[in-house]
Structure 1
Amino acid sequence: MIATFAIILATCVVSFAGFGNPQVIDKLILWPPAIKRGRQYYRLLSHGFIHADGMHLAFNMITLYFFGRYIETFVAGYIGTLGFIAFYLSAIIVAILPTYMKNADNPSYRSLGASGAVSAALFGFVLINPWAKILIFFVPCPAIIYAVIYIAYSIYMDRRGTDNINHSAHLWGAAYGVLFLAAMEPRLVSAFLGQLANPRFGLG
């Protein structure tokens, strides 16, 4: 599970550097004109290593700590530790691409945070263990129930567009996590459907 810890460490270091230096944020944040006109394509990845504040960082990294370790072990069993790193980094990019394309000509748009990649890890876990218990604000909930609520809420808030959260990245990251794991191990799909047909409420 060293890759998960390395990603968390790197994200914390870069994020903390950004907290005290707005120039770091300006250099790394997803800003469409810098990509389209300035060809700074690295921003499609670098935005996933900076965060708005400590709470934003803590929420993403705690979630990654719990679910990333599990997904790393699973993915590494098929394509190695480097394969898991590739999964995580590509999830950052894939999750933000629809947002970038939608806002390619919007100079006032900016986005940052690892939420898309974290959602990929979380929903990869749900695909493997849909009835596992996860704690939502210390309240136990089956993973699949949480996933349904999460998706419904993200779609609703994305359509409203009244907050400062990129719900689109959450949705695309979640979809990418499921599709990546299903492509890597197609038997996961039938196993997932089989588990849905046999609920295990209350079991971890």
Structure 2
Amino acid sequence: MLIAAARRAAPRAAPCCIGTVRTATRRAHQLPRAATTAPRRPKITTPRRSFLALPQGEALPVVGGLIGANCLVYGAWQVVDPRVMTRHFTLSNDDVLQYPHTLVTSFFSHASGWHLLGNMVTLFFFGPEAIGALGAARFLAVYGGAGLVANSAQLATNAYANMRRDPYFRTRSPRCLGASGAVNAAVAYGCLLNPWRMIIVFAEFLPLPLPALLYGGAFLAKDLGALFDVHIPYVSDRAHGIAHGAHVGGTLV
């Protein structure tokens, strides 16, 4: 009876053991899910805000701080000796080696209230979107780097223009200032981030909607045409006293 019971029990135990071994072997050959699934790149999202809403989150202190710094320097122009401000807050090929800090201070300085207003309004609308995609630290690196590249490009433009003149007609380098080069980096980044959104441009006081990519292209062509003395109908900017080299340098950053 004991032998018969053992014989009946043996066939039942074997399938259970074999099934367990097969399951363990199959699991051993399977790779972990983390190793077979490639990590997904986070999607860039930008905060949505209404037309005149204040920047939110980390964009508020960054944009507010930059606007405040530019307004503070403009206020200094009204009360401080103009010779001191010219020496330390404008950029010139003639004395940039003597005052290297003007590579930075000049792009916080503006010649007039309209100059300041135009740059700060542009920064107000395009800055928060770039900060939302890049983060505050990276945006400040781009903004500051664009300002330095823009100023360097303008110094090179001034030197080249003077070199082309006959030695008898060469003059001292013009003095440059303004945040346009740094602000242009934020504008260009916003146009590339959402190239098909509509931007309203006022042409002779008439609102004209343009895709951001087309607006950005015209924005760059305006300065390139003036820089190389090529006339582009309805686009070229032939106004005097504009640092087109700085605009192009900041945009390309």
Tell me the equivalent position of 1:59: 118
SS at match of 2:95: helix
Q: CA deviation at 1:126?
A: 0.8
Report if the CA contact (8 A) 1:25-1:50 is conserved.
no
- Give yes or no for the alignment of 1:107 onto 2:172: yes
Distance 1:32 1:148 in 2: 30
- Give yes or no for the alignment of 1:167 onto 2:244: yes
Q: Relative to structure 2, which stretch is displaced further, 15-24 or 4-13?
A: 15-24
Tell me the equivalent position of 2:76: 17
TM-score by length of 2: 0.63
Q: CA RMSD in A?
A: 1.8
Partner residue of 1:92 out of 125, 130, 147 = 147
Greater relative contact order structure (CA < 8 Å, 6+ sep):
1
- Give yes or no for the alignment of 1:82 onto 2:137: yes
Tell me the equivalent position of 1:33: 94
Unaligned runs of 5+ in 2: 1-58, 163-170, 230-237
Q: Where do 1:133-152 residues align within 5 Å?
A: 133-137=198-202, 138-152=207-221
TM-score by length of 1: 0.77
How many percent identity over aligned positions?
Answer: 33
Which structure has greater helix proportion?
1
Q: Deviations over 1:30-72 (max 9, x none)?
A: 0222213x1x211111110011100000000000000011101
Q: CA deviation at 1:134?
A: 1.6
Distance 2:78 2:214 in 1: 35
Please list every run of at least 4 consecutive aligned residues from structure 1 whose deviation after the TM superposition is greater than 4 angstroms: none
Distance 1:139 1:101 in 2: 35
Tell me the equivalent position of 2:63: 4
Structure 1 or 2, whichever has the larger Rg, is: 2
Paired letter, 2:214:
I
Distance 1:90 1:27 in 2: 20
Report if the CA contact (8 A) 2:157-2:245 is conserved.
no
Aligned length: 170
Report if the CA contact (8 A) 1:19-1:53 is conserved.
no
Paired letter, 2:183:
V
Report if the CA contact (8 A) 2:91-2:103 is conserved.
yes
- Give yes or no for the alignment of 1:154 onto 2:215: no
Paired letter, 1:29:
T
Distance 1:43 1:136 in 2: 33
Q: CA deviation at 1:20?
A: 4.2
Report if the CA contact (8 A) 1:133-1:141 is conserved.
yes
SS at match of 1:140: strand
Unaligned runs of 5+ in 1: 177-204
Tell me the equivalent position of 2:167: none
